[in-house]
């Protein structure tokens, strides 16, 4: 037993180390090949990450990515590929902003209302894909791509001043109107103009714990994972696969809806044309990188937030910012390839053990039989 644990530790550490080393080396090669200093940009980014205001940005972005990636991951756990997180996120942010701006309630209630509306909206939008899949067999990959585009149009229409939107005097932006202060989620001010850590970031982390618990410690989670691992086995075990698909799609959409909340409740307090987009796509990468595991996703989200934010001043120093995107791509490939290599090694080890065990059990018999 001790030996297995040591092995496990070694194997567990080997993957990430191999990945990080190889991705850094590859990135440096790209820089070198284009005649740039291979060390300085990385140095700059690490330096940047040492500053409090950038740290705040990184932490806040991590929270947003974390939620969106959880949304993607829960689908993946079920073999569902929710490419529509981005659309669900945008639509939910917009609708909840409208609702939030149109009412005034005591603090916690106001926030709760907005959050619930966001989760429901996201779930609703994802649910369409879920229903299409369970009743009509439409691949969720296609339907969520379509729903992303449809969400764009729907939002564009809803946000027109003649519908639900507002065009602030003198602005060329369209917004949903400002949410009253009672609906703002209190954050932690880091002082000295370093910005605020969104309070919702902690909700995101808490949801990570919930995600872990629900998946690993509840019947529901077991059913969900079982369905993801083998739909046929899960069905035979008593899982209603269709309901499971719909449920996980709804949860995924709900989480996607929540991923707009850090920004909405902690920063903008309104949904406007300049509300951040594309979160849902980055989240796919993060979920894959974090292997759909709540802790893994946290690290992956942190890594991506770091690459996003710590690179903000690279262009000022004369390095194309795109280098971070190349790094992201390389990291993903390096991580999965090295995990695969390590996994192959690990499986071989495990089989060897099973083999040894079996051999030990049958050894005596074999010897006797040879003479037969």
Ligand X SMILES: Nc1ncnc2c1ncn2[C@@H]1O[C@H](COP(=O)(O)OP(=O)(O)OP(=O)(O)O)[C@@H](O)[C@H]1O
d(CA 46, CA 50): 7
Q: Which does 253 bind (CB under 5 to 8 A by kind): ligand X, other proteins, none?
A: none
- Give the CB-nearest residue to ligand X: 351
Q: Which does 261 bind (CB under 5 to 8 A by kind): ligand X, other proteins, none?
A: none
Of residues 328 through 357, those in contact with ligand X by CB under 6 A are 351, 354
Smallest gap from Cβ 171 to other proteins, in A, equals 4
Residue number with CB closer to other proteins (105 or 176): 176
Q: Which does 106 bind (CB under 5 to 8 A by kind): other proteins, ligand X, none?
A: none
Cα maximum dimension of the chain: 99
Smallest gap from Cβ 360 to ligand X, in A, equals 14
DSSP SS3 for 179: coil
Q: Which of 10, 9, 64, 19 is nearest to 339 (CA)?
A: 19
d(CA 347, CA 342): 9
d(CA 158, CA 358): 66
Smallest gap from Cβ 345 to ligand X, in A, equals 13
- Location of structure tokens 């972005």: 61
Residue number with CB closer to ligand X (109 or 358): 358
Smallest gap from Cβ 109 to other proteins, in A, equals 26
Residue number with CB closer to other proteins (17 or 109): 17
Contact (CB, 8 A) for 83 and 148: yes
d(CA 61, CA 309): 8
- Location of structure tokens 């795109």: 322
What sign has the CA pseudo-torsion 220, 226, 231, 234? negative
Q: Which does 81 bind (CB under 5 to 8 A by kind): ligand X, other proteins, none?
A: other proteins
Smallest gap from Cβ 293 to ligand X, in A, equals 25
Q: How many residues belong to the site for ligand X (CB under 6 A)?
A: 2
Strand duo 188-189 + 196-197: pairing:
antiparallel
Residue number with CB closer to ligand X (4 or 39): 4
Q: Which does 365 bind (CB under 5 to 8 A by kind): ligand X, other proteins, none?
A: other proteins
> What is the DSSP track for 144-166?
HHHHHHHHHHHHHHHTSTTTT-B
Residue number with CB closer to ligand X (186 or 362): 362
Q: Which does 3 bind (CB under 5 to 8 A by kind): other proteins, ligand X, none?
A: none
Smallest gap from Cβ 351 to ligand X, in A, equals 5
Residue number with CB closer to other proteins (114 or 129): 129
Q: Which of 59, 64, 121, 54 is nearest to 275 (CA)?
A: 64
- CB within 8 Å of 174: residues ≥ 6 apart: 159, 160, 161, 165, 166, 167, 272, 273
Q: Does 216 sit near ligand X (CB under 6 A)?
A: no
Smallest gap from Cβ 346 to ligand X, in A, equals 13
Q: Which does 312 bind (CB under 5 to 8 A by kind): ligand X, other proteins, none?
A: other proteins
Residue number with CB closer to other proteins (106 or 369): 369
Q: Which of 192, 250, 231 is nearest to 74 (CA)?
A: 250
Residue number with CB closer to other proteins (114 or 155): 155
- In the complex, the residues that contact ligand X under the rule CB under 6 A are 351, 354
């Amino acid at each position: 037993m001790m030996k297995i644990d040591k092995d496990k530790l070694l194997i567990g550490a080997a993957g990430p180390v191999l990945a990080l080393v190889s991705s850094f080396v590859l990135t440096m090669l790209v820089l070198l090949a284009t005649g740039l200093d291979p060390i300085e940009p990385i140095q700059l980014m690490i330096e940047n990450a040492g500053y409090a205001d950038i740290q705040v940005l990184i932490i806040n972005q991590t929270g947003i990515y974390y939620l969106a990636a959880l949304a993607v991951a829960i689908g993946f756990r079920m073999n569902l590929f929710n490419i529509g997180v981005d659309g669900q996120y945008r639509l939910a942010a917009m609708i909840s902003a409208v609702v939030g701006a149109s009412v005034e309630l005591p603090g916690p209630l106001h926030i709760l209302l907005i959050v619930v509306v966001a989760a429901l909206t996201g779930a609703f939008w994802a649910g369409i894909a879920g229903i299409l899949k369970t009743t009509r067999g439409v691949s969720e990959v296609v339907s969520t791509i379509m729903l992303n585009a449809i969400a764009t149009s729907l939002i564009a229409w809803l946000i027109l001043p003649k519908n639900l939107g507002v065009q602030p005097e003198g602005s060329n932006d369209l917004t949903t109107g400002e949410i009253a202060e009672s609906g703002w989620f209190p954050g932690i001010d880091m002082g000295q103009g370093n910005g605020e850590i969104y309070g919702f970031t902690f909700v995101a982390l808490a949801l990570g714990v919930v995600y872990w618990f629900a998946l690993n410690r509840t019947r529901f989670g077991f059913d969900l994972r079982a369905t993801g691992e083998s739909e046929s086995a899960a069905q035979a075990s008593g899982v209603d696969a269709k309901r499971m698909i719909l449920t996980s799609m709804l949860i995924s959409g709900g989480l996607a809806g929540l991923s707009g909340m850090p920004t909405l409740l902690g920063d903008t307090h309104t949904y406007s044309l300049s509300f951040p987009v594309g979160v849902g796509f980055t989240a796919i990468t993060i979920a894959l990188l974090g292997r759909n595991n709540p802790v893994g996703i946290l690290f992956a989200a942190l890594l991506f937030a770091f690459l996003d934010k710590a690179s903000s001043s690279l262009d000022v120093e004369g390095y194309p910012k795109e280098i971070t995107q190349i790094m992201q791509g390389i990291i993903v490939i390096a991580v999965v390839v090295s995990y695969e290599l390590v996994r192959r090694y690990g499986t071989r080890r495990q089989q060897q053990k099973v083999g040894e065990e079996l051999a030990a059990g049958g050894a005596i018999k074999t010897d006797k039989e040879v003479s037969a």
